[in-house]
Structure 1
Amino acid sequence: MIHNEQNIIGHGFLQQFNHFIKMPVIIFKDGQLLYANQCFKAAVGKPEFNIHTYDLNEDFQLTDAEHQEITITRADGTTRHFDATLKPIIYNHQDATFVMFNDISARKHVENNMVQIAHLRALMIKISNLILDSTSLSEFFDFILNTTLQAIEKTTLGSILVLDENKVLSTAASYGYSDEIDKFRLPLEKSFLYRETNGQLDKAEKISNATLLENFIPVKTAYGENAYLQSSINAPIYFQGKIYGLISIDSLEKHAFTAYDLDAVEFISKSIEIAVTNRLLYEEKAYLSRFDRLTKLHNRHFFDEYGELVIKRAQRYGEQFHLVMMDLNDLKQVNDQHSHLAGDHVLVHIAQAIRDCVRESDIFARFGGDEFVGLLFNSTTGAIKEKMENINTLLRKHPIQYDGCEIKISISYGVAQFKEEGNSIEDLLKLADERMYQYKKIKKSLSQA
């Protein structure tokens, strides 16, 4: 090194520099720190460290380049970004390197946010495209979680928790955890997010040291290891203005997540809210296109479409099945004497009685008003009639209770068999309907007698 007055630095220069220019400065030689001003000590979050024992490589790495961008990890786990300028100097009569740090954290924050948001928007487009996919709701949540984890650098675990009617959180999707997490249950008010937001659940929250949590417990990872969560970001998920669940992004490292990550999860949670809302509304619409809202049985639209498929399959493979028509006797009288709400209660009760007496492979639908229709497979006419009579026996022995009153109701039914008695759904419906009214007429005559 050429010695001249411009590269010889003494204590007088350093005092003037620190007085007029408030920037972190160090002087080092061969990895050994020779000098550090208070601004540098504050930058690394160690105001009392000893320069003789301080390890430069512990917080950041410097190269031989004259200008370089570095990231300093502070004592509290947070990070700050600097442009470092290195100059060869003479200090205390020895060759050394003078380093001046220009804080660019604010600029990096903006840059990182722009890059991260662009990345997140691309990921959210993927989620939006899945809304109308044929995947199940469980697969939908898995995709959302995996997509979110792609955007957060140091995450190793994650979960989506949904709220039940008792305000208890359970697992809808998870990553990195063992299957034991499927048994996880946590009252909402005991969750970290609930406590940190004083029950408001209005924003994402970050915790950098999970040992501070009251309910700090070990978890078992997908590899079967027992480990402790050290960092977590929790954000609420809303559906139609009400809390629906939480997304939790977790890590086994302390101070794993930055302010950027918190902003990212905040952004993601809002996007997830839109995606989940659209998906659940789609699920509801899809459900209502197939099921009757009141009785939860299939509706006539579904029955008409499914019936045609059953006919084609039966004709192709020589299968047999029975069609059953059923209606309630004197439901109008129940509506007139009690109320239409009482009539609805009766319909729901009958629908449950139907579900209890048929197999899962059988299909029953509300055909309209007080009429029901079913397709029963692998059975006989006699066995089906016995099931229908069992419903009447149950209704006779255990009248329906409503608002302190007993409601006595019964059913009439008719059965038709494919292919012996009809080759189409229309033919079977017509025959079963005729037999149902014959049954009704006979029962009425017996009652009057």
Structure 2
Amino acid sequence: MKQVKSALIKHSMLALALLFISFIDYFYRNLFDSSYNPFVSLLLVILTLSATIYFSHKYYLRPYKILFSEVNNCYKEMINELAMDEDNNLPSQKQAHSLEEMLNLYKSAQKHQLEMVCQLKNTNKVLDQNNKFANAIVQITSEILRSGDIHGILQLILNKAIEIIPNAQKGSILLYNEDYLEYKAMYGYDMEALKDFKFNFNEIFQYHVEDIYEPMIITEIEKFNSKLNKDKFNVLKDTKSFDLKCSISCAISIDNQFYGTINIDNTENSNAFIDEHKPIIKYFAEQIGVALKNAQLLEKILYLSHYDSMTNICNRSYCEEQIRVLHKECEKNNQGYSLVVLDMNDLKQINDSYGHEAGDKLIVTFTNYISSMEQKPDIFGRIGGDEFALVYSNRTNDQVIALLKDIKCYFSHIPFHYNNRDLLNITFGFGICSYPDEASDIPTLFRIADQRMYDDKRKSKTFKIK
């Protein structure tokens, strides 16, 4: 192609030169017809031809060559910039000999550049997903450590799973209580309609696989749930729980014990979830396990901080806290309550004669009976070694005294039994003070009830060891 263009240029220049020669010769003959000299005509032809070649080269051929060279160099630089490395198989490393070849190279480089842009977009998408995943880890971990609201944590974990797992549209978390599974968190479903719905263990996806703790993908949801009884099937169908094309599910475990499942759903595509999504949902299932275990530990710690470990009734601080709460409610609603301070007799003598194990059993026997009474106190706490506080709301002092006399009557007929021996009948002294009839603040209530308890104790103390 380059040779054809070069020949065309030369022929054009020759034709132009002949045209000028013909014009000069014609003009010379007409102008100097009487004194025409062939040698002069030849000289004019030579001069005209030289001038034509000179000016054609200067103003046409040379600029064209310069322009072509610049264009050629420009395309070479462009393609060299597009070439990413020596292994990208671009033809830019080859020597191009024409503008067409350079254009082809440029198109090839442009195609490669578009492929690289697509790869970069996919990489950015993955990085964005990883960034969301990292942020979710931080937020979930922070919430687990900070919050004691297990339901809020479960909903947060589910929301993050929906946000991060590609194609996720709906989701739920089911927890197992040894008898059945029930919904604890939802996304995209009617919680009010399904809050009382319960699954048996043999009705969930994990029951039908060998390794229940590995994530699984399910595509025929309605067919699977057709095994449910008619009532359950209709409830799920009415709440559009079968309008699903694909689900991915993973079991939740605590110390290798099954504790529930997390399920992520898609309503449009039966191939919405793939194996690459399994590690993601497994992570969220593990985080739920961590959150639940922390909640159990927190609940245990709170219980130990609120209750007496031996009797399982309120300890002193929690008892006083509960009384303050009740006092504020009664003030607000113009209601009353009665505070009882009760002290057991003979505990020291039992400890000295039979050991502290016998004394502990004496206390547990006493508190277990009061806690099991049909008309048990609203608040019952151990505020000393053998001293207790009881609160009865919306009862008169006479009604409370009658209840306490019933307790005394019960223990008067049933001796305390230890090591196959009846040791004594449990007795105690008590004092009552009522709000607001006798005192308007808690310290005064305690002081009056305490004084009355000591007065009664002196009358009721009947220590007998058989």
* Structures share fold, TM-score greater than 0.5: yes
Unpaired runs of at least 5, structure 1: 1-98
For residues 37-116 of structure 1, what are the structure 2 equivalents within 5 Å?
A: 114-116=127-129
Q: 2:135 maps to what in 1?
A: 122
Residue 349 (1) aligns with residue 368 (2): yes
Alignment of 1:229-308 (within 5 A): 230-240=245-255, 242-253=257-268, 254-308=270-324
Q: Does the 8 A contact of 1:234 with 1:248 survive in 2? A: yes
Q: Which runs of 5 or more residues in structure 2 are unaligned?
A: 1-110
CA offset at residue 383 of structure 1? Answer: 1.6
Change (3 A) 1:410 1:250: farther
Alpha-carbon distance, 1:385 to partner: 1.3
Task: Tell which structure's C-alpha radius of gyration is larger.
Answer: 2
**Structure 2: how far apart are the matches of 1:152 and 1:406?**
68
Distance 1:227 1:244, change over 3 A: closer
Amino acid at match of 1:204: P
1:431 aligns with 2:439: no
Name which of 212, 216, 225 aligns with 1:205.
Answer: 216
Choose which of 319, 324, 328 in structure 1 pairs with 2:340: 324
Change (3 A) 1:186 1:315: closer
> More helix by proportion, 1 or 2?
2
Task: State the AA in 2 paired with 1:171.
Answer: Y
Tell me if structure 1 keeps the 8 A contact 2:427–2:461.
no
Are residues 343 and 444 of structure 1, via their aligned partners in 2, closer, same or farther at CA, if it must alter by over 3 Å?
Answer: closer
User: Contact 1:381–1:417 (CA<8 Å) still a contact in 2?
Assistant: yes
Q: Root-mean-square deviation (CA), in Å? A: 4.6
Does the aligned pair in 2 maintain the 1:178–1:224 contact within 8 Å? no
Distance 2:120 2:200 in 1: 41
Does residue 364 (structure 1) correspond to residue 380 (structure 2)? The answer is: yes
Q: Distance in 2 between matches of 1:159 and 1:307?
A: 40
Cα distance, 1:324 vs. partner?
1.0
Matched, 1:381 2:383: no
- Report the equivalent of 1:31: none
Other structure's SS at 1:174 match: strand
* In 2, Cα distance between equivalents of 1:112 and 1:406: 78
Partner of 2:383, secondary structure, is strand
Structure 2 CA distance, aligned partners of 1:248 and 1:347? 49
**What's the secondary structure of 1:379's corresponding residue?**
coil
The amino acid of 2:432's aligned partner reads: V
Query: Is the 8 Å Cα contact of residues 144 and 294 (structure 2) preserved in structure 1?
Result: yes
**Paired residues of 1:219 and 1:228 also in contact (CA < 8 A):** no
CA distance in 2, matches of 1:343, 1:445: 15
Corresponding residue of 2:17 = none
The answer to whether the Cα contact below 8 Å between 1:395 and 1:410 also exists between their aligned partners in 2 is yes
- For residues 404 and 156 of structure 1, do their structure 2 counterparts lie closer, same or farther at Cα, with a shift above 3 Å needed? farther
CA–CA distance in 2 between the matches of 1:391 and 1:207? 61
For residues 275 and 288 of structure 1, do their structure 2 counterparts lie closer, same or farther at Cα, with a shift above 3 Å needed?
same
Deviates more, 1:241-250 or 1:206-215: 206-215
Alpha-carbon distance between aligned partners in 2 of 1:352 and 1:291, rounded to the nearest angstrom: 13
TM-score by length of 2: 0.57
Aligned length: 342
SS in 2 for 1:298: coil
Structure 1 or 2: larger strand share? Answer: 1
Contact 2:310 / 2:364 at 8 angstroms: preserved in 1? no
